[in-house]
């Protein structure tokens, strides 16, 4: 039933918007086109930032830096039943959710989704944010120059999510 309901939500929203526009005598199509043009302008503005972040993630992976970090911290994690592959995942998740998803799939293939490492990975992915990506995209789009406490707050929240994930899996 939930699947049927979720499949009906978007068409009902679109129909509701069109009907509301007709009742209020608003040219819905013209508004849609103007919104699409504004959206494309924003995409063009933030594209260099997105490309820069993706290149940085690619360089970190290709250079072996993430493997080095995994090796350095991996021994202490393996004592707790976690694989060393979660260390690069923690760093990549702060920059790119799609790159992190690729690492998650690798972890699931090696350890399985029901393993302690797989469960940590799943929980950590759901309770952390791509701080650098989100900040760069939203602040670039809204032209915010002074981020004030955003980055420290985002990193603190990410650390709390990682620590919570660790303890949830440890005491499950």
Q: What is the mean predicted confidence (pLDDT) over 122-135?
A: 88
Q: What is the pTM of this model?
A: 0.67
Alpha-carbon gap, residue 141 to 129, rounded angstroms: 18
Nearest to 133 by CA among 55, 26, 70, 44: 55
- Angle at CA of residue 151, ends 49 and 100, nearest 5°: 60
pLDDT tens per residue across span 139-156: 877 888 888 898 899 999
pLDDT in tens, 55-101: 887 888 789 888 888 888 877 777 777 777 888 888 888 888 888 88
pLDDT value of position 147: 82
Domains of the chain by residue range:
45-170
Residue matched to tokens 């702060």: 94
H helices of 64-96, where? 65-79, 86-93
Share of the chain above pLDDT 70, in %: 100
At 107-127, the pLDDT tens digits run 899 989 999 889 999 999 998
By the 8 A CB rule, do 77 and 84 touch? yes
| Residue 164 reports pLDDT greater than 90 | yes
């Amino acid at each position: 039933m939930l699947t049927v309901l979720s499949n009906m939500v978007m068409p009902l929203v679109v129909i509701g918007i069109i009907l509301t526009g007709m009742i209020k005598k608003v040219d819905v199509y013209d508004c849609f086109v103007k919104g699409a043009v504004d959206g494309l302008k924003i995409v063009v503005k933030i594209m260099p930032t997105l490309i820069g972040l993706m290149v940085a993630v690619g360089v970190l992976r290709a250079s072996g830096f993430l493997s080095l970090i995994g090796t350095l911290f991996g021994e202490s994690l393996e004592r707790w039943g976690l694989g060393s592959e979660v260390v690069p995942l923690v760093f990549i998740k702060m920059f790119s959710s799609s790159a992190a998803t690729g690492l998650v799939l690798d972890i699931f293939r090696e350890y399985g989704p029901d393993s302690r490492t797989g469960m940590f990975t799943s929980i950590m992915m759901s309770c952390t944010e791509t701080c650098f990506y989100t900040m760069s995209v939203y602040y670039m789009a809204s032209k915010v120059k002074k981020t004030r406490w955003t980055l420290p707050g985002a990193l603190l929240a990410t650390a709390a999510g990682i620590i919570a994930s660790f303890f949830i899996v440890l005491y499950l």
